[in-house]
Amino acid sequence: MLRALMIAPLPVTLVIASFLCPTELSLFLGGLRLPPHRIALIVLFPIALYRLLFSRHVRLQGFDLVFVAFNIWTVAVFTSHAGTPDGLVYGGSLALESLGAYLVARAYVRDHQSLMASLKVMLLAIATAALIALPETLLGQNFAHDLLRALTGYEHPVAVETRLGLTRAYATFDHPIHYGTFCAGLLTLLLYAERRQNRRYGRATIIGGATFLGLSSAPMLCLALQFAMMAWDRLTRGIRSRALMTFALIAGLYVGVSLVSDRGPIGLIATGLTLDSWTGYYRMQIWIHGLENVWANPWTGIGLADWERPWWMVSDTVDAFWLVVAMREGIPAFLLLTLAIAMLVAAAVSKGLSTPDRQTHRILRGWLISLIALCLIGATVHFWNVLYAYFFFFLGLGGVLADPARSKARRSRPASRPARTRIKHAPRRPRHPIPEEAWA
């Protein structure tokens, strides 16, 4: 693991380490709060951007431009709603977290070796977070936040919540859901990147145990989805049309549940596959009334304004990343982000399957399964602060699949053609024989 820290690109290691830094370590400049991960991205953003534009090891692609367009739209929308400096600061902070984290992974994870080392650093970060979370779950106290509040004087709102007789751990994150999602999101990618079976079991144990300490339904569902997709991948391996078969099965299950259940498939999942049924029901109401806000403000959203909802929904929290994007920034922002992800996936699949390397195929499947799980969990969890940057950092890791670094053999000039060897032929006999008199 220490060798991975030395091999992994330093900017990538710094960003992953900044994810573990609590918000109490924020730097305040006037009225601007800079948490540790934003400070790291402020420093690394221009360097990563320069590398993307001018380095021969990475090439600007179409999906990169769409990610840039999404962030430009983000800054413009919030600036138009709240003006300057408030809207510009808020939109710029989001753009820094998303585009900055994406560019660091995109520009510096360029080959198999750097990807493997970066994933090992990520696994080390998960294990570190779990070690901090374990005493919190068992002893019922948020040690990290309590200690840093006493040292810095900054108070981050935390609460001691219990489920199943245990305390939901925050570790160094802003919320137990964020801690759990951070641990669960990369499960399949970390497992498929490991060749040895016993080490895969070890990684699954670490990630599963770490996720459980948060006692949050969404991260556990994220794990369950990935395990289910891995099992399906193994069962259908070798079937040519398994993608079509998978979509047909999902459609059949959706229709079947719709006919049998009066709550519908989404409602059944929201209220039945959660540790707290009331939480699932409330999230369904968030989607129902949140979409009403989207249709009422389709182009530029509502910005930072409060959203319309029934009086009994006291909290203004919207636990759905995709819904928040559409509500606050409008449908164009949602379409730009989904288009960028779709283009990235298409390029990764095209380039990944074109290589005969089986390990690359496994990593591609792992990245895709983790991406699907994170996108689905984004329907019930809002990605903000560290988790927002973490999601785009994960997308940036896909760049090594969609735009792999060219090998030295391809970058070097083709060797000059060998000089042709001249073969001396015997002199041809003339068509008309020379008369013997000419030799006299």
SS3 306: coil
State residue 236's pLDDT score: 86
Q: Which residues, given as ranges, of the chain have pLDDT below 70?
A: 1-5, 254, 257-278, 406-440
State residue 290's pLDDT score: 92
State residue 33's pLDDT score: 86
- What tokens does 262 get? 């009066």
* Residues in CB range of 23: below 8 A, 6 or more apart: 35, 154, 156, 174, 385
Decide if 209 is inside a domain.
yes
pTM attached to this predicted model: 0.88
Decide if 255 is inside a domain.
yes
At residue 138, what is the residue type? L
Decide if 294 is inside a domain.
yes
State residue 154's pLDDT score: 86
State residue 272's pLDDT score: 53
Could you give the count of Cα atoms lying within 13 Å of 231 in the half-sphere of its Cβ? 6
Note down the domain range covering 96. 2-407
State residue 314's pLDDT score: 85
At 55-83, the pLDDT tens digits run 888 889 999 999 999 999 999 999 999 88
Decide if 424 is inside a domain.
no
DSSP state of 48: H
Q: How many domains does the chain have?
A: 1
Q: Rounded to whole angstroms, what are the CA distances from 378 to 149, 211, 278, 289, 403?
A: 30, 16, 19, 17, 26
Q: Where are the alpha helices (DSSP H) in 215-357?
A: 217-235, 242-260, 264-272, 277-296, 321-329, 331-354
Decide if 203 is inside a domain.
yes
State residue 95's pLDDT score: 96
DSSP state of 235: H
Decide if 426 is inside a domain.
no
State residue 415's pLDDT score: 45
Decide if 309 is inside a domain.
yes
Which phi and psi (to 5°) does residue 30 adopt?
A: 65, -125
Decide if 438 is inside a domain.
no
Angle between helices 331-354 and 358-377 (to 10 degrees): 160
